[in-house]
Amino acid sequence: TGLVVAMDGPSGSGKSSVSRGVARALGLRYLDTGAMYRAMTWWMLQQGVDLADPAAIAARSGEPGIVCATDPDAPAIHVDGVDVGGPIREAEVTGAVSVVAAVPEVRARLVALQREAIGAGGIVVEGRDIGSVVCPDAPVKIYLTASAEARARRRSAELAGTTVEAQQEAMARRDTLDSTRKTDPLSMADGAVELDTTALSLDEVIAEVLRLVKE
């Protein structure tokens, strides 16, 4: 089918886990656009690009070859043939990604790559601007939220060596950058359904999204 499910929301709201679960249940592909922004950031750091200089980031943004797999059971991301699935989750990339993602040339390039990967559809796409920019015509748009404390608790359970407090602070900083940037800020898209997952289990959230898809 050509179905596109757009899944947006702040970090730790459950986009990745919910999107993969929904894709698996419906036999759809899955695209993690956050992984693409992280891969771009990893490459900029690797190249020693001055991240305080948006013009320098823009000038190099066409160079890395970023390929994101779309099998929900085998997520993978490569930059120029190098598997960067591990390093893109590390603190250095996480701390820099919002700055790189705010550069319009970076967004234009990655949105084009994302539309290419989406192709004729049959896919769950997660990110920050999927329902508003990448796929404004998606028939199903979800905006996942959860309390700041719940999101920080979930993320620190996944990462070793961080406290909930430190995590909450880092996420708040990134959420502010993501929602106040000039180009395509994180916000609820027209026609999106907001789903607060604070008091729900992962399975309950997946079931609710599947219900919305069938509607």
Q: Which of 4, 150, 174, 192 binds ligand CDP (CB under 6 A)?
A: 174
Summarize the chain as % helix, strand, coil (round to 5): 50, 15, 35
Q: Which residues of 16-31 are buried (b: 16+ CB within 10 A; e: fewer)?
A: bbbbbbbbeebebbbb
Under rule CB under 6 A, residue 34 binds ligand CDP: yes
Q: Nearer Cβ to ligand ADP, position 17 or 187?
A: 17
Q: Nearer Cβ to ligand CDP, position 16 or 156?
A: 16
Q: Which of 19, 61, 70, 98 binds ligand CDP (CB under 6 A)?
A: 98
Under rule CB under 6 A, residue 124 binds ligand CDP: no
Whole-angstrom distance, CA of residue 95 vs CA of residue 73 = 27
Under rule CB under 6 A, residue 131 binds ligand CDP: no
Q: How many helices (H) and strands (E) does the chain have?
A: 8, 8
As given in the structure block, the two tokens for residue 9 are: 């929301």
- Show the site string, 173-202: x = touches ligand ADP by CB under 6 A, - = not: ------------------------x--xxx
At residue 115, the 3 state secondary structure works out as helix
Identify which of 119, 96, 126 has the alpha carbon closest to the alpha carbon of residue 21.
126
Binding site residues, ligand CDP, CB under 6 A: 11, 15-16, 33-35, 37-38, 97-98, 101, 127-129, 174, 178
Binding site residues, ligand ADP, CB under 6 A: 9, 11-18, 154, 158, 197, 200-202, 205
